[in-house]
Amino acid sequence: MPELQLLRPDHAPALLAFERENRAYFAASVPDRGDDYFARFDERHRALLAEQRAGDCYFHVLVGAAGEVLGRVNLVDVADGGAELGYRIAEHATGRGLATWAVREVCALAVGGYGVTVLRAATTRDNAASQAVLARAGFTVTGATELSGRPGLTYAKTLRGDAPPR
């Protein structure tokens, strides 16, 4: 099973490779990060680590046996016991339950390690895979939204300190 790790400086090369290799795949369901993201990746990585040190965000990478990044699961805008959840899994690693497993793991970390008791998430209405991950991880639909001009759904989950299923 892959390992979920808190983002570190040495993850940068594998993370950049993950983002480049999956750029077109991700852009089909979420807004593209743009060329500037890749051109300034090192600067952006350092900024993420600074946000994490400040406790404003917690960035996680799903690392495979060979050290490759298979996914990301992030908690952003951590404040007042709440946070926004975001995740993405490499195209070649989808369909194996990794997203659901990783989201459940981050839920346990959020309540047990970061003091977060409520997570929020959003996905486009046409992203059935992401909707299924959120449902399996115990999130419920809370409303409708628009994500980059596309209709979407908002979700929430109250965390109670339950350990993720193994």
Mind listing the pLDDT tens digit for each residue in 51-65?
999 999 999 999 999
Mind listing the pLDDT tens digit for each residue in 90-117?
999 999 999 999 999 999 999 999 999 9
Q: Give 27's pLDDT tier (boundaries 50, 70, 90).
A: confident
pLDDT(162) > 80: no
Do the domain assignments include residue 164? no
pLDDT(163) > 60: no
Do the domain assignments include residue 129? yes
Counting Cβ atoms within 10 Å, is residue 138 exposed (0-12), middle (13-18) or buried (19+)?
middle
Distance CA 85, CA 65 (A): 25
In the β-sheet with 58-63, what is the strand arrangement from edge to edge? 3-6, 58-63, 69-79, 82-89, 118-124, 150-158, 140-147
Do the domain assignments include residue 73? yes
Q: Give 150's pLDDT tier (boundaries 50, 70, 90).
A: confident
Residue pointed to by tokens 């490499």:
90
For residue 113, give the 3-state DSSP assignment: helix
Do the domain assignments include residue 163? no
Which DSSP helix (H) or strand (E) runs through 155?
Answer: strand 150-158
Distance CA 22, CA 71 (A): 10
Mind listing the pLDDT tens digit for each residue in 34-86?
899 999 999 999 999 999 999 999 999 999 999 999 999 999 999 999 999 99
Domain span at 55: 3-158
All residues at 6 or more sequence positions from 1 whose CB lies less than 8 Å from its CB, including other chains: 101
For residue 127, the domain's CATH number is 3.40.630.30
Give phi and psi for 70, each to the nearest 5: -100, -15
Do the domain assignments include residue 53? yes
Do the domain assignments include residue 17? yes
Do the domain assignments include residue 166? no
Do the domain assignments include residue 165? no
Number of domains in the chain: 1
| Res 164: pLDDT | 53
